[in-house]
């Protein structure tokens, strides 16, 4: 791994760290794409993301038919689009590690809910956009471009990392 790739992975981890919600896109039975929000459990990115889901849900059925997914994340640090392969397992030790009061809100029977599953997305590639200038700086750069003072806003970095 080059220093550049290490820097890219650090930027990706920063975006994941600042996120509360991700959009998981799966392929439905009829071939259409279906996105739904999931709470971000991981606060770093090590080529995988993990989520707590309910067995029997539509997303779990979609993944069983076609494990190719996309996860989109936004935080104050920027944006991510992670293409990868999903698996759904029942790994109690990891579920315990990820369990929180926030997770409890989604499972009526709490941690003892027998339908809790671990959804793991193994990333194949990540496209990212970072916001180096912050919200106000981005607004200023965009206004300059809109007024013709700059050709396009220069607000951050963009890259793709193959994992």
What confidence tens digit (pLDDT) does each residue in 95-120 have? 999 999 888 888 989 999 999 999 99
What secondary structure does DSSP assign to 4-63, as a single string?
HHHHHHHHHHHHHHH-SEEEEEEE-TTS-EEEEEEE---SS-SSEEEEEEETTSHHHHHH
> Among candidates 36, 14, 1, 22, which has minimal Cα distance to 130?
14
pLDDT of residue 157: 84
How far apart, in whole angstroms, are the C-alpha atoms of residue 42 and residue 86? 15
Query: Which CATH code for domain 3-162?
Result: 2.30.110.10
Report pLDDT for 124: 97
The ranges assigned to domains in the chain are 3-162
Segment 7-47, tens digit of pLDDT = 899 999 999 999 999 999 999 999 999 999 999 999 889 99
Q: What is the pTM of this model?
A: 0.84
Q: What is the per-residue pLDDT for 139?
A: 52
Within 10 angstroms of residue 19's Cβ, the number of other Cβ atoms is 22
pLDDT value of position 19: 95
């Amino acid at each position: 791994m080059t220093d550049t790739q290490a820097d890219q992975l650090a930027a990706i981890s920063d975006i994941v760290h600042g996120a509360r919600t991700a959009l998981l896109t799966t392929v439905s039975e009829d071939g259409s794409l279906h996105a739904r929000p999931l709470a971000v459990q991981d606060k770093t990115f090590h080529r995988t993301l993990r989520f707590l889901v309910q067995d029997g849900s539509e997303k779990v059925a979609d993944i069983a038919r076609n494990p190719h997914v996309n996860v989109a994340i936004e935080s104050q640090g920027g944006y991510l689009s992670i293409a990868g392969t999903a698996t759904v397992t029942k790994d109690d030790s990891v579920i315990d590690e990820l369990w929180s009061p926030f997770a409890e809100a989604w499972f009526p029977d709490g941690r003892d809910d027998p339908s809790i599953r671990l959804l793991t997305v193994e990333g194949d590639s990540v496209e990212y956009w970072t916001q180096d200038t912050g919200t106000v700086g981005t607004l200023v750069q965009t206004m300059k471009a809109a007024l013709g003072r700059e050709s396009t806003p220069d607000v951050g970095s963009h890259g793709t990392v193959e994992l």
